[in-house]
A and B are shown apart, each in its own frame.
Chain A
Amino acid sequence: MAQRPTDNIGKYLHNFPGGLKLRHHKALSCCKPLPARYLPLSTEYCIPVSQHLGQPAEVVVSVGQQVKKGQALSTPGKTGNAPGAFVHAPTSGEITAIEKRPVPHPSGLNSLCIVLQPDGKDRWVELEPVDDYRKLDCDELIQRVQAAGIVGLGGAVFPTDIKLQGTSCLINTLILNGVECEPYISCDETLMKQAPGKIIEGALILCHVFKIEKVIIAIEDPMDVCNLELEQSISEFNAGDCVEVIRVPMLYPEGGERQLIQVLSGHEVPAGQLPISLGILVQNVATVAAIRDAVIDGIPLIERLVTVTGAGIREPQNVHARIGTPIADLVDFCGGYTAGIARLVMGGPLMGLGLRNDQLPIIKASNCVLALTHADITSTQPEMPCINCGNCVSVCPAGLLPQTLQTVIRAENFEALESLNLDACIECGCCDYVCPSHIPLVDYFRYGKGEQRAQAKEKQESDIARLRFERREQRLEKQQAERLARHQRRKRALAGSSSKKDSVAAAIARAKARKQVLAANQPDTNSETGKGENS
């Protein structure tokens, strides 16, 4: 039997190219206190409709409507096949506005949000728990995951139901990604310590439905306590024969899907393909726990663990925050800011998103709120010319050539990017970090990717326009021909009925012609009479 790429997965650890060893800064926030505390109700929740990758959702509530906790506020848009996800009410209360508000997005643009004023009662909508998940089939599971609005909680926020749909039964290995490689963030570690059972049960559900043979929970080397908790939970569920915890060495960005697969299996996911091509499904541990809640208890994704950390926060910790909570409320809950705060970031220090203020809401993608002080950040440096030192090449985890890419993008030669595989860039920021010339490489790559996408869209649109133009031309030609034919028909008909004289003349002409034919066919003896008649 041919060997599958997943046969020896996890047996030996492998390397991925590049990567950085970074200081972790996780002790700041991790597991103080355990279990993480729940944030009290805020005075207002602002829930952005587009929190996921893909199509904006369709709002299904109206201003003034009373909603219950867990009630769907918007459903995936019906237009096209683009992915979409449900968004739910984080608590019970009244919808006070549906309007464009600032959201955590790099564009800084406002986006449609549903504003909810809590009534303080926190009443749940009627949930539909499942007694035995073993009775569920593939479609039912995907339907439940979709109805719960679950998206990838590792940061990519791709709708999970769509990822699972593409999976069907082609996979044999599930990798649970508990490798939180970016410094400061510790929400997944906290989850693994406080609720390992949820993760294991979620994994077993996916195993059952997708007939997965093996589950690997990947954690980082220093996460000893996690390891113990997970092992204990595995034995509680009697899942020791299919679930395995593997510790991988600390190296940024090992938590990237493709990098983790490479470390565990030694195989690289081919460019432009998904891990399914190797028979692997990768899910973040928090996503799997959310799947468990959605399937067994019927609870939609309305809250998540958020790490509030950094030297700019008085009491860094992990908290359970509802989606839509203003970031300021989280900061207040954690004792407020310290004196030297310089920058507020959503996400980690390398891939995070700088925020303008703390009035923005927590969204499904918010794994961390990081407040950095002046001591943490270097001042903005002027960009110097590239000296071709090659540092960026040696740290790139995707094996790309950042310096070449940067030159090509700067020259706006976007057609050349395809052959340089810009798509494979995961925007981890390693190249930025090591660049001695302070070139904002990732910014260039994002620009290049945006332009590539925009051009592809333009091409698609122009193809449609060409098709429509050609169809129209054909139609007009056809119409013209039909009109002409109709016209001629009518003309002939008119000519036919215009005067009797003409028709009589025509009849005479026809008779004459017939006679001539007859005469020509007559034998010679009759020729004279024929002549006589004609003359």
Chain B
Amino acid sequence: MTAAVIILTLLALIFGLALGYAAIRFRIEGNPVADEIEAILPQTQCAQCGYPGCRPYAEAIAAEEAEINRCPPGGEAGIKQLAELLGKDIIPLDADVGIEKALPEVAIIHEDVCIGCTKCIQACPVDAILGAAKQMHTVIATECTGCELCIPPCPVDCIDMIPTKIDITNWHWGKPIPITTISEIADTRGEEVA
């Protein structure tokens, strides 16, 4: 009886020390779940989800404070990935936060209208607008995430969103459209089916 108590106490002590040591030695900084969620989010930093950026939204999802369907730029594919990661059901995009765009967009400043107020520069979350006070501003197209945050502050309404152009450098093959019936084949050849 005493032996058993002593052995169990010793074991508890050893495991307790081992666990305590492991907790300090292998401590993970930050929130790994939020990191993984953030890696899926598109990093447009558009704040359409209601959080001030992708990182805060990722942290909110990780803390189960937010649904996974509040990211319009990530769209359906993003929701699918998040659902897979978190073991949740796939739900449609929350219509209140916005709609998924067919093509990525970038902002363009109409340079003849711009008055150089720097308001858009302050609004841009990724520093993609170049300019100085009373100087014309311009968008660095390759850095622009298309978040549209620069549009509301502009006092002269000189910023537009334009979809990225498809040319032969960024074009790729689309999904094949299967031909399934005889009449469809006839259609593609412009023939009449008797």
Binding site for B on A (CB under 8 A): 50, 55-56, 103, 105-107, 109, 111, 379-383, 440, 443-444, 446-447, 449-451, 453-454, 458, 461-466, 468-469, 471-473
Closest 9 CB pairs of A and B: A450-B172, A462-B43, A446-B173, A465-B43, A443-B176, A468-B126, A383-B178, A107-B171, A466-B43
| Partner-A contacts on B (CB < 8 A) | 38, 41-45, 53-55, 125-128, 143, 145, 166-169, 171-176, 178-182, 184-185, 188-189
The answer to whether B176 touches A450 (Cβ under 8 A) is: no
Residues of B within 8 A of A468 (CB): 126-128, 143
Contact across chains for A454 and B172 when beta carbons are under 8 A apart: yes
B residues near A56, Cβ cutoff 8 Å: 169
Given A105-B168, A471-B127, A450:B173 Cβ within 8 A: yes
* Bound Cα distance A111, B165 (Å): 12
Bound Cα distance from A440 to B174, whole angstroms = 13
- Are B189 and A380 within 8 A (Cβ)? yes
Contacts of A461 in B (CB 8 A): 43, 145
A79 to B97, CA, bound (A): 37
Task: Determine whether the beta carbon of A444 is less than 8 Å from that of B185.
Answer: no
A-B pairs with beta carbons under 8 A, tally: 90
Which chain B residue lies CB-closest to A458?
A: B42
Q: Are B54 and A466 touching (Cβ within 8 A)? A: yes
Nearest chain B CB to A481's CB is how many angstroms away? 18
Closest chain B residue, CB of each to CB of A444? B176
Complex Cα distance A454/B42, Å?
13
Q: Please name all residues of chain B whose beta carbon is closer than 8 Å to the beta carbon of A103 when the two chains form the complex.
A: 168
- Which A residue's beta carbon lies closest to that of B74? A462
Contact, CB under 8 Å: B171 / A472: no
Can you identify 9 A-B contacts, CB atoms within 8 angstroms?
Answer: A50-B169, A56-B169, A109-B167, A440-B178, A443-B173, A465-B145, A466-B54, A469-B126, A471-B127
Interface hub of A449, A464, A469 (most chain B Cβ within 10 A): A469
The answer to whether A464 touches B143 (Cβ under 8 A) is yes
Which residue of A is nearest B125, CB measured?
A469
Complex: chain A residue closest to B188, CB-CB: A380
Tell me the complex Cα distance, A134–B179, Å.
59
Asked if B45 and A469 sit within 8 Å, CB to CB, the answer is yes
Residue contact A449 to B172, C-beta cutoff 8 Å: yes
A453 to B170, CA, bound (A): 10
Residue contact A382 to B182, C-beta cutoff 8 Å: yes
- Nearest-CB residue, chain B, relative to A475: B127
Choose among B128, B145, B188 the residue with the greatest number of A CB atoms under 10 Å from its CB. B145
* A382 contacts B125, C-beta separation under 8 Å: no
Which residues of the partner chain A approach B55 to less than 8 Å between Cβ atoms? 469
Contacts of B181 in A (CB 8 A): 382
Q: Quick check: B44 and A465 within 8 Å, CB to CB?
A: yes
- Residue in A383, A444, A468 with the greatest tally of chain B CB atoms within 10 Å: A468
Q: Which residues of chain B have C-beta atoms less than 8 A from A450's C-beta?
A: 172-174
* Complex CA–CA separation, A123 to B143 (angstroms): 46
Q: Which B residues are CB-close (under 8 A) to A55?
A: 169
Of the candidates A106, A383, A471, which one forms a contact with B179 in the assembled complex, judged by CB atoms under 8 Å apart? Answer: A383
Least CB distance from A331 to B in Å reads 23
Distance A466 CA – B43 CA, assembled complex (angstroms): 6
Cα distance, A171 to B166, chains bound together (Å): 39
**Chain B residues near A382 (CB-CB < 8 A):** 178-182, 184-185
Q: Is the CB of A379 within 8 A of B168?
A: no
Shortest CB-to-CB span from B155 to chain A, Å, is 22
A380 to B167, CA, bound (A): 28
- Closest residue to A476 on the B side, CB-wise? B122
Q: How far apart sit A212 and B44, CA to CA, in the bound complex (Å)?
A: 50
Q: Are B188 and A465 in contact (CB under 8 A)?
A: no
Q: How far is the CA of A451 from the CA of B145 in the complex (A)?
A: 19
Cα–Cα, bound, A490→B66 (Å): 43
Q: Whole-angstrom distance between the alpha carbons of A454 and B185 in the complex?
A: 31
List 9 extra interface pairs beyond A109-B171, A450-B172, CB under 8 A.
A111-B167, A379-B189, A380-B185, A381-B179, A451-B172, A462-B41, A468-B127, A469-B43, A469-B55
Bound-state CA distance A473–B126 (Å) is 9
Closest-by-CB residue of B relative to A459 is B39
Chain B residues near A440 (CB, 8 Å)?
Answer: 176, 178
Which residues of chain A are within 8 angstroms of B38 by Cβ–Cβ distance?
Answer: 466
User: Across the two chains, which residue of chain A brings its CB closest to B40?
Assistant: A462
CB-CB under 8 A from A463, the residues of chain B are: 43
Q: Are B168 and A447 in contact (CB under 8 A)?
A: no
Q: How far is the CA of A293 from the CA of B184 in the complex (A)?
A: 52
A87 to chain B, nearest CB (A): 15
> Which A residues lie within 8 Å of B174 (CB)?
447, 450
Minimum CB–CB distance for B138 against chain A, Å? 16
Q: CA A469 – CA B182 in complex, angstroms? A: 54
Contact residues in A for B41 (Cβ distance below 8 Å): 462
Q: Which residues of A contact B126 (CB under 8 A)?
A: 465, 468-469, 472
Contact across chains for A50 and B168 when beta carbons are under 8 A apart: yes
Q: How far is the CA of A440 from the CA of B173 in the complex (A)?
A: 13
